[in-house]
Amino acid sequence: MTPSRRSVLTRLFLGLASLPLASMTRPARSADGARVVVIGAGISGLAAARQLADRGFKVTVLEARDRIGGRLWSDRSFGIPLDLGASWIHGTRGNPVAQLSESLGQPLQDWNYEDRAIIDLTGHRGRLQERADEFLTGLEDFASQAGSHAATLTIRDAVSHIRRKRRIAHLSDAEIGALITNHVELDYAADSGELALAALGEGRVLGGPDAILPRGYDRLAHGLAGDLEVRLSSSVDGIYHSSNGVSVLVNGQTFSADYAIVTVPLGVLKSGRIDFGPPLPDAKRKAIGNLGMGVLNKVYLTFAEPFWEPDALNFIRVSDKPRQFAYWINLSRATGVPVLGALNAGSFARDLEAMDNAGRMAAAHEALRTMFGADLPVPKAGISSAWASDAQALGSYSFLAPGSTSADRLALAASVNDRVFFAGEATSPDFPATVHGALLSGRKAAEEVQALAS
């Protein structure tokens, strides 16, 4: 996920249903030899598998990729870890991901969003930050008045409304675009016209600073996996259950177990690629259709020498194309290498995926030239993500689309006939689109299996 600014808006919707943080110290229950197949070796699948294996269950993890981690993906092509999937721990206080990092000896580095430079290409330097609060206040006021309509209205509707009311008439189109992109669209990985207004207040926010993992987020996946039985390159074609157990069809083979935990991304469920027998309940199929799957992609460029302000961790680009390369992060301090990363979301992220890696690098470099000058040095190397076209993800993380609510997440999380269980960030009404939401959902599914098997 991108930097979370949701604490500004979450108080509007404190009445939403929420679940308590899952305990990390629940008493062990006897597995009595029960066998569980976990589908997906992302953080939720590994968390479920680890908890069950530690309680004596016979666990097999099936992963379609040739690596573990799922949407935790740290690329080391350039000798440094660059996170192409999740990057931040959002709120380290009481966060199970921060606790897992500590238990695995993985250091954290706090990320200060105030260490920033705003580069305004429209001639209004210095205005954006002082006017951000006015924009967000207008959005908050409209959201609080919308009531139940927040589920059907979009954030674009809200912006249009406050513009008509002249709440933000003093802001230029470029400034409004930059605020929407950096405060909303990059958070939720979707365009403002795709996002339900209710998305602004969904879930809960943990306290403490945000942080990154300088050694790479995937260290957590490998730490959880440990000695688990993980079968890579094992794409699941079908999941079938009866009162006697479950059968999982993989590459022409059938795995039999007492229970299955499905942790594939929402995008894969939306594709219908996995056959379920009997078919999934109507409520679950409706939830899969209602929820949106966002796209957030990253482009990293490395340079021989830094040419940017060394103390700025964040660069905001204000231009007449507000969705394009509007937010950059400086990872030089974390990696010891001059490297900048750009985050793009929604429709522009998909547009970038239509290019090859070289095209993405060229587009990113051109954006930097508008920020720092035409004589900018050529990058030494570059790499980018393409989550929408990744067959094992088909997107980055979930969001509330118009017509969907947190009740859809609960329906997605519900087990089927006490045999097939579901986990993943999209199933978390409290912490959607976060790594800790995914991890906690995996533990919750494991506890549900434990309760039945005990």
Tell me if 279 is assigned to some domain.
yes
Measure the CA dihedral 19/22/26/29, to 10°.
Answer: 80
Give the structural domain span for 65: 35-70+218-291+403-453
Same domain, yes or no: 321 and 351: yes
Q: Is the four-CA dihedral 440, 443, 449, 454 of positive or negative sign?
A: negative
Mean pLDDT check: name the lowest of 129-138, 190-199, 395-404.
129-138
CA angle 404, 405, 411 (to 5 degrees): 95
Q: Do residues 323 and 177 make contact, with C-beta atoms less than 8 angstroms apart?
A: yes
Same domain, yes or no: 276 and 414: yes
Name the token pair of 233.
């390159």
What is the tally of structural domains in the chain? Answer: 3
Same domain, yes or no: 190 and 57: no
pLDDT digits (tens, 9 = 90+) for 421-434: 999 999 999 999 99
Same domain, yes or no: 282 and 226: yes
Domain end residue (candidates: 201, 226, 247) = 201
Same domain, yes or no: 228 and 272: yes
Tell me if 411 is assigned to some domain.
yes
Banded model confidence at residue 125, pLDDT cuts 50, 70, 90: low
Tell me if 10 is assigned to some domain.
no
Tell me if 257 is assigned to some domain.
yes
Domain end residue (candidates: 350, 384, 418) = 384
Tell me if 265 is assigned to some domain.
yes
Q: What mean pLDDT, rounded, does the chain reach?
A: 92
Tell me if 16 is assigned to some domain.
no
Domain end residue (candidates: 325, 349, 384) = 384
Tell me if 23 is assigned to some domain.
no
CA 76 to chain centre: 21
Same domain, yes or no: 418 and 298: no
Same domain, yes or no: 255 and 300: no
Q: In 10 A of CB 364, how many CB atoms?
A: 25
Name the token pair of 324.
């394009």
Same domain, yes or no: 408 and 284: yes
Same domain, yes or no: 313 and 374: yes
The CATH number that applies at residue 283 is 3.50.50.60
pLDDT for res 157: 96
Banded model confidence at residue 123, pLDDT cuts 50, 70, 90: low
* E strands in 146-201: none
Distance between CA atoms of residues 20 and 12, nearest Å: 19
pLDDT for res 122: 79
Tell me if 398 is assigned to some domain.
no
The HSE-up count of residue 285 (CA atoms within 13 Å, CB side) is 9
Q: Exposed, middle or buried: residue 164 (CB in 10 Å: 0-12, 13-18, 19+)?
A: exposed
Same domain, yes or no: 243 and 364: no
pLDDT for res 171: 80
Distance between CA atoms of residues 3 and 384, nearest Å: 19
Same domain, yes or no: 190 and 163: yes
Same domain, yes or no: 46 and 184: no
Banded model confidence at residue 127, pLDDT cuts 50, 70, 90: low
| C-alpha dist (Å) from residue 434 to 151, 360, 431 | 21, 26, 6
| C-alpha dist (Å) from residue 353 to 52, 223, 279, 291, 390 | 38, 31, 33, 22, 10
The CATH number that applies at residue 371 is 3.90.660.10
Total-model pTM: 0.93
